[in-house]
Amino acid sequence: MPAGGRGGCAGAAVSTRPKDKLRRDLVVNPSLILVPPEAAGERLDRFVAALPEVASRGEAERLVASGAVRVDGEPRPKSHRLTGGELLEVDSGERLAAVLEPETRDLRIAYEDEHLLVVDKPAGIVVHPSAGHPGGTLVQALLDRGIAGGDVPERPGIVHRLDRDTSGLLVVARSQEAYVRLQDLVRRRALDRRYLALVRGKPRSRTGRIEAPIGRDRHDPLRRSLDTDTPRDAITHFELERLFPKHALLSIRLETGRTHQIRVHLAAIDLPVVGDPVYGVPDPELGRQFLHANRLSFPHPFGGETVEAESRLPDELQAALARLAS
């Protein structure tokens, strides 16, 4: 949409007032905001963070991620660039006031030094506070271990994430410098992440590469999909580990790390993840999705030596394989 506006806004005088004052004046009501022409090119999350009813980058990211922010009626990713003249809907009722305090939880630390740690996350625990999950998260369980870094206060040290019901390994920073260097590894695709996934069906080949962009589903902002207006490149590699009569155990390597990437990609090739109620096939006996981050390796962001960590399959996933083999 060209700068200059929509709905009769074309030709409006350009204001020279500071942006924060301008944004206060452009609030149509507490949840509708008209984006000024001066905001053309600005990221959605940065614009929302400057609104007086939001007031922080972390809160803006949570609102955008939860679908509580819509641009001309449609949810957009946080990196969406505004053009000016759009109508923003902001449901500030989704706001979260998270207070980070340490919580005691028995966690396995697979590797740690003064710069970072690799934690073995159990299934059922959310990585960081978010709408609906103010406490009981991995971040709060790691606060006493000195995690730090990043520009979102509620996510100190978090470089990459695992879904709540995915278990396994992830690396967490202990300083801003470590966070920046680990983020660079992620951008350069130097963080080697391996998973085990049990799927229904048989792959057509022993190895495969899935390359299909993923974004928010056109019809459901809480789902990721190949049917999207906001595609981001996504590449998943798989290799057959074990074959069962109606199932297969796959070893997965992520080349990119999009939200729900493995689950969406495998469903797209008719190999849905067992126990996944959203994209896969439910399994009441298992009670969770069969997806486990079993290996993690990367060059140390300071010394350059290879850091490698492994995680055994949790008991409930081993029991699921035993049932299929019996």
Active-site positions read 163
User: Across the chain, where does the E strand assignment appear?
Assistant: 27-29, 32-34, 69-71, 74-75, 87-90, 108-112, 116-121, 167-173, 192-200, 207-211, 215-216, 224-225, 235-243, 247-254, 291-299, 306-310
Residue 227 CB partners (closer than 8 Å, separation 6+): 217, 218, 219
Phi, psi of 97 (to 5 degrees): -105, 90
Report the relative pairing of strands 87-90 and 306-310 from DSSP bridges: unpaired
**What DSSP state is assigned to residue 92?**
G
Per the CB < 8 A criterion, the answer to whether 230 and 76 are in contact is yes
Report the relative pairing of strands 247-254 and 235-243 from DSSP bridges: antiparallel
For residue 229 the two structure tokens come to 């207006």
Q: How far is CA 234 from CA 33, 224, 251, in A?
A: 33, 12, 17
C-alpha gyration radius of the chain: 22
